[in-house]
C-alpha cells in the first residue's frame, strides 16, 4: 500500500495563489489536485472572495465541496449552494469605523460584500474595483451600502499605499473590526476576530481534520493567520513580504504553478516529507 501523503488537507487561496492573472487554473494545477485527491487528500479553497464570486471557480475545480469565503466569515457548501455558517459585520460599527479612519486620513472610498449566497458587491462613487473581472453594483451614496447585512467593507485611498492605509486603519479602528489586506488595492474591515484561520479551523473540524493535517498556500497578509494555524505555510514567489516572513517555504509564482510545484513534490515524496 502506498504511503499516505504528508498533508491530507490542502488549503489554497485563490487570487495570486492558485489562480493565474486571467482568473484561470492551469491544467498542471488541475491535474495535481486530482492526483492528490486520488490519494485521499482534500482540497479546500480559503479566499477573501464572497461565496457568490467563488461558485463558478469551484465548478471549474470539480465543485461539490466546502469553501471558506469572505476572509473566513463564510463557510459555503458549493454542492448545495448554501451557507453552512456565516458571520456579519455590524453595519453601525462599520460606519463608525469608516468615520474614525477618515478622521485620520481624509476621504476613503468604500465598497461592501453583502452576506448570503445571493449577496452583491456594492461600490460607492469613487471606488475602483481592484479586480475588474468581479461584478459590482455602483450605488448613489454611502448610505446605500448599509441596506442589507454585510460580511465586510473594502477600502481604497486616493494617495496612501495599501500598507499605509492598513496601518492607519488598524490604529483608528481598534476593537471595532479586524483590518486586513488581501490584495493590491484591497484593504478590508471584517468582523472582529474573524480571519482565514478561524474559517479554516471550522472547515477542518467538519472534515474530521486538524491543523497538523494541513498545508496552506497564499500570497497576501490576510493569509498570515492561516499559516500560523496550519502545520506548513507556503508563500508564492509573488507574495507580500509579510507573508514570506511567516512562511515555512516560498514556491514559484502563481503564474508559474507554484502550488503544483509543491504538491508534485509531495506526491513524489509520499509520506516522507514534512
What pLDDT digit, counting tens, does each position of 246-272 carry? 999 999 999 999 999 999 999 998 654
Q: Are the C-beta atoms of 245 and 40 separated by less than 8 Å?
A: no
User: Closest by alpha carbon to 268, among 2, 10, 1?
Assistant: 2
> What pLDDT score does 1 carry?
36
Q: What is the mean pLDDT of the chain?
A: 93
Phi then psi for 255, rounded to 5 degrees?
-70, -20
Question: Is the pLDDT score of 159 beyond 50?
Answer: yes
Question: Is the pLDDT score of 130 beyond 50?
Answer: yes
> What pLDDT score does 36 carry?
95
Question: Is the pLDDT score of 274 beyond 70?
Answer: no
> What pLDDT score does 63 carry?
66
> What pLDDT score does 183 carry?
84
User: Closest by alpha carbon to 104, among 171, 29, 193, 7?
Assistant: 171
> What pLDDT score does 4 carry?
73
The number of residues making up the chain comes to 274
Question: Is the pLDDT score of 131 beyond 90?
Answer: no
Q: Distance of CA 261 to CAs 28, 135, 252, Å?
A: 9, 31, 7
Query: Which grid cell is 10?
Result: 490542502
Q: Distance of CA 150 to CAs 90, 108, 130, 208, Å?
A: 8, 18, 19, 30
Indicate the pLDDT class of residue 185, thresholds 50, 70 and 90: confident
> 37-68 pLDDT, tens per residue?
999 999 999 999 999 989 888 887 876 689 99
Indicate the pLDDT class of residue 133, thresholds 50, 70 and 90: confident
Q: Are the C-beta atoms of 40 and 157 separated by less than 8 Å?
A: no
Helix, strand or coil for residue 88? coil
Indicate the pLDDT class of residue 273, thresholds 50, 70 and 90: low
Helix, strand counts (H, E) of the chain: 8, 14
Percent of the chain with pLDDT over 90: 84
**Average pLDDT for 153-166:** 95
Helix, strand or coil for residue 235? strand
> 201-236 pLDDT, tens per residue?
999 999 999 999 999 999 999 999 999 999 999 999
Amino acid at each position: 500500500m502506498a504511503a499516505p501523503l504528508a498533508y491530507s488537507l490542502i488549503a489554497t487561496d485563490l487570487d495570486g495563489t492558485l489562480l493565474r492573472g486571467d482568473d484561470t487554473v492551469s491544467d498542471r494545477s488541475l491535474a495535481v489536485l486530482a492526483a492528490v485527491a486520488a490519494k485521499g487528500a482534500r482540497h479546500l479553497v480559503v479566499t477573501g472572495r464572497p461565496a457568490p464570486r467563488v461558485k463558478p471557480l469551484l465548478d471549474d475545480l470539480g465543485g461539490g465541496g466546502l469553501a471558506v469565503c469572505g476572509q473566513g466569515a463564510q463557510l459555503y457548501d458549493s454542492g448545495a449552494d448554501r451557507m453552512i455558517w456565516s458571520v456579519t459585520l455590524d453595519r453601525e460599527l462599520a460606519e463608525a469605523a469608516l468615520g474614525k479612519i477618515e478622521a485620520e486620513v481624509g476621504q476613503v472610498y468604500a465598497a461592501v460584500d453583502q452576506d448570503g449566497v445571493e449577496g452583491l458587491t456594492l461600490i460607492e462613487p469613487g471606488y475602483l474595483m481592484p479586480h475588474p473581472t468581479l461584478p459590482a453594483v455602483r450605488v448613489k451614496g454611502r448610505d446605500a451600502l448599509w441596506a442589507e447585512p454585510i460580511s465586510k467593507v473594502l477600502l481604497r485611498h486616493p494617495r496612501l499605499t495599501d500598507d499605509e492605509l492598513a496601518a492607519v486603519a488598524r490604529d483608528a479602528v481598534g476593537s471595532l473590526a479586524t483590518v486586513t489586506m488581501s490584495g493590491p488595492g484591497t484593504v478590508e474591515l471584517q468582523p472582529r476576530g474573524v480571519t482565514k484561520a478561524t474559517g479554516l479551523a471550522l472547515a477542518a473540524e467538519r472534515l474530521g481534520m486538524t491543523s497538523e493535517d494541513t498545508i496552506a498556500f497564499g500570497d497576501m497578509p490576510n493569509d498570515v493567520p492561516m499559516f500560523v494555524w496550519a502545520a506548513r505555510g507556503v508563500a508564492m514567489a509573488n507574495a507580500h513580504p509579510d507573508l514570506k516572513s511567516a512562511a515555512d517555504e516560498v514556491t514559484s509564482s502563481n503564474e508559474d504553478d507554484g502550488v503544483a510545484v509543491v504538491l508534485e513534490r509531495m506526491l513524489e515524496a509520499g509520506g516522507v516529507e514534512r
